[in-house]
Amino acid sequence: MDAAEAKTFLPVTNEFLDSVLRLEPRVAAIDCDGTLWSGDAGERFFDWELREGCLVSESLVRPLRERYAAYKRGEVDETTMCGEMVTMHQGLSELKMMDAATRFFDQFFVPQIFPEMRELVRRLQDNGCEVWAVSSTNEWVIRAGMKHFGIPENCVLAAKVEIDDGLATNRLVRVPSGGGKPKALREVVGKAIDAAFGNSRWDAEMLAMAKHSFAVNPNPDLEVVAREKGWRIYFPEGTRPRS
């Protein structure tokens, strides 16, 4: 997005962008699903790959759907489920996973990107800020999404497994959800986080560790926390504040 396009933003959006940039953050951490774009790319990718049959054998579809239904009922915790949604690809080529993730993201999620958040990332980087994408969605989908934000692969902290000879294993490297987000940032980034952005309760601990915290498109539970702690709340254009 160039400067001319940026001027089309509503005044409240320009004020939000300015409120972040005037802080001159050197390191920023940004959640992805619901924060950089509308919707949950991890959940949608899981459903898509089961329906398309391009990555998962037909015999595994029913057990995987039953497992996810148990998660939705609260019988499987968030971190465990997010981990299993990556380890289920054991034995598959990473090149195949990236190809599928890119096709999926470009088809379904590019139109859901919040333009002002893409503009914010661009301006932060132009100002010399180190921007990290942090997500519990599988790394392949997040890497595909970050191509549209100019965030390099080495600045992505997402649910990840070890790769052996180009093939995915079932050995988890990390699952950045809840407390796993600040843990990953401390282990990998090792710097103070000047600004953090998130939309759900799974981002609250990451927001709490930052010098400046922003609840973007917050779910009701995070909005309550944000108001209690005095964090800046911003709803992207086209979203509607919840009552």
Read off the pLDDT of residues 47-91 as tens digits, 9 standing for 90 and up: 999 999 889 899 999 999 999 999 999 999 999 999 999 999 999
With 80 as the cut, is the pLDDT of residue 23 above it? yes
pLDDT confidence bin for 4, thresholds 50/70/90 = very low
Vertex 100 angle, CA 99 and 102, to 5°: 65
- What is the average pLDDT value for the chain, to the nearest integer? 95
pLDDT confidence bin for 241, thresholds 50/70/90 = low
Which run of H or E residues covers position 206? Answer: helix 204-209
- What dihedral angle (degrees, nearest 10) is formed by the CA atoms of 117, 199, 82, 135? 40
Going by the DSSP 8-state scheme, the letter that residue 203 receives in this structure is G
What structural domains does the chain harbor?
3-234 (3.40.50.1000)
With 90 as the cut, is the pLDDT of residue 13 above it? yes
With 50 as the cut, is the pLDDT of residue 3 above it? no
With 90 as the cut, is the pLDDT of residue 242 above it? no
Q: What is the model's pLDDT at position 2?
A: 45
With a CB cutoff of 8 Å and minimum separation 6, the contacts of 42 are 33, 82, 85, 135, 136, 137, 138, 141, 159
With 60 as the cut, is the pLDDT of residue 116 above it? yes
With a CB cutoff of 8 Å and minimum separation 6, the contacts of 191 are 26, 27, 130
How far is CA 146 from each of CA 23, 36, 56, 126, 149, rounded to the nearest angstrom? 24, 10, 24, 16, 5
Q: What is the model's pLDDT at position 7?
A: 54
pLDDT confidence bin for 222, thresholds 50/70/90 = very high
